[in-house]
Amino acid sequence: MLRQGNIGAAKLTMEKNGLALPKYSDSAKVAYVLQGNGVAGIILPEKEEKVLAIKKGDAIALPFWCHHLVVQQRRHRTNHPLPRRHL
């Protein structure tokens, strides 16, 4: 079903004080935080950058071709941490 909707998924594991290198998303993605907390910066075309605090349980839909950066703040590992709020 995700493939038919052109939606991808990725797993990102980070250590305390880790940094995910900035990257562009080439497809829409859904992200969910499994553990820990941190901040996520997201840039959408023709919009201001958003920097959001994120924590365990947060999820977000990333639209096609957005630019994002994630910073881990706690000791726990996490998978592609992004917030529950919609952009």
Residue count (the chain): 87
pTM of the model: 0.60
How would you label 60-83 residue by residue, b for 16+ Cβ within 10 Å and e otherwise?
bebeeebebbbbbbbebebbbbbb
Residue pLDDT, tens place only, 31-76: 888 888 888 888 777 788 888 888 999 987 777 766 555 656 554 4
Domains contained in the chain, CATH given: 7-72 (2.60.120.10)
